[in-house]
Amino acid sequence: MSVPAWIQDAIFYQIFPDSFAYAPPPAAIAGTHAIPQPSPDRLEPWDAPPTYQGIKGGNLWGIIDRLDHLEHLGITALYLTPVFQSASNHRYHTHDYYTVDPILGGNPALEALIDAVHRRGMKIILDGVFNHASRGFFQFNDILENGGNSPWLDWFKVTDWPLAPYDGDRPANYESWVNYRALPQFNHDNPAVREYLMGVGEYWIAQGIDGWRLDVPFCITAAGFWQEFRDRVRALNPDAYIVGEIWRDATPWLDGTQFDGVMNYLFTGPTIAYVAGDRVVAEHVAAPDYNATPPLDAAAYGQAMEQLLAAYPWDHCLAQLNLLASHDTARLLTIAGGDRASVELATLLLLTFPGAPSIYYGDEVGLPGAFDPDCRRGFPRSPSAFDEDILALHRHLIALRRQHSVLRSGRYRMLYGEGLVYGFARHTDTEAAIAVINAATTAAQVSIPLEAIAALPRELTQVHGPADAIGQRQGDQFTVQLPPRSGALWL
């Protein structure tokens, strides 16, 4: 089955539901569904620094309430981190895969969100956590209660007795994700477990979601698991997007039988290392596995991008989920020590790279955030807290990408890479675009060869960049002048 065509045209927006927005349910819903809610005085203050266990109380009704903001931004698809019932603010500790967390509004809220998103012509994908469950998952809880007498014993990998789900001074005696006893790992070799998880994947596709982002899929080693998952999901929706959380080389996963794309951290790390360079605050990038240090010059950055694009079939390159930040990383504004130029240059690279760009909630309004959990701050409740310049930059570049198909499906070619000046083209047989980035602290004047780009018009028009940038075509050369720490785009 082919990669869904809509992905290459998509602009994703990743939402951490607990911290994005809150809105009360419609009166008709509130009056007919007894969905329990926490006491307001037990919620973590919205603007307080996020903690590992605090609940801020964002919900799916709040996302519906902010769809105007997202549509105005130019977003065409949402990716939500887990929404199912859980006892954690991030909800990767799943209790019930068929029940939306009541704090998020329950199943009626997700049904309403899917409908609202689709009425605007948008898509929505959910986070599937199928490697592990939680201590509160019914079948595992039954084992805790009944020990070796539990009829669900072979759903998990119990190695000895007694189990110690909470006492870190004793062996847990069951396998869990990276030995984190809060996340007992499924026994995927059990046909009943496998069928249960396949059924979850199918159920929510049938309810109208447009795909799955799959958490730590490399941890599931049962033969044929992801091939079967793809076949069954795509049988229900041939255009469903399946994207895996793979931080490194994804070649084994992009063979056409498993995933359409992956979270493209191989784009993220080098992009940060190039645009932010020695501004990168090491402590903010020490944990994520994406090599945001040491600094890269333009030649090394271009080589990294060309190697990345050469690694996968082109249709899968167009289906990568490209990102600058996520719920698992610090935000670039904080990584770069508050340097706004790093954000501006990286955003230009993100919105002109092959694949589907993904904006992490709040990045478009200048929300800072260090490593987890600080990267999960509450989205500003008042527009007065927005960084209007960064917001305008996102709107402008997203609009350009949506207006010009060459920025979505054109081939990518590095044209220039010397010092900290990088130039590349996106081109088809009939259209071309040229972008040049000067990541240096001094002005740059360079001459870029154009012989390899056949579809260039006689004149190139600058559509993005500083007013004092200059780009002039002289035969097969493009002479560019750029101020320090700036980038420009010509079409």
- By annotation, the residues acting in catalysis are 215, 245
- ∠56-57-62 over CA atoms, to 5°? 120
Whole-angstrom Cα distance, residue 472 to residue 479? 5
SS3 assignment, position 444: strand
Residue 118 has φ and ψ, to the nearest 5°, of -70, -35
* Chain CA centroid to CA 346, Å: 15
Residue 282 contacts residue 293 (beta carbons within 8 Å): yes
Residue 424 contacts residue 415 (beta carbons within 8 Å): yes
- Alpha-helical runs (H) found in 290-422: 298-311, 314-317, 332-335, 340-350, 388-403, 406-409
SS3 assignment, position 173: coil
DSSP state of 136: T
Structure tokens at 23: 């809105």
Structure tokens at 323: 């990102």
Residues in the chain: 491
Identify the burial level of 442 via C-beta atoms within 10 angstroms of its C-beta, where 0-12 means exposed, 13-18 middle and 19 or more buried: exposed
Q: Which helix (H) or strand (E) holds 454?
A: none
Q: Tokens 């939500």 belong to which residue?
A: 80
DSSP state of 154: G
Half-sphere exposure of 68 (CA within 13 A, CB side): 1
Buried b (16+ CB within 10 A) or exposed e, 354-380: bbbbbbbbbbbbbbbbbbbbbbbbbbb
Whole-angstrom Cα distance, residue 151 to residue 170? 25
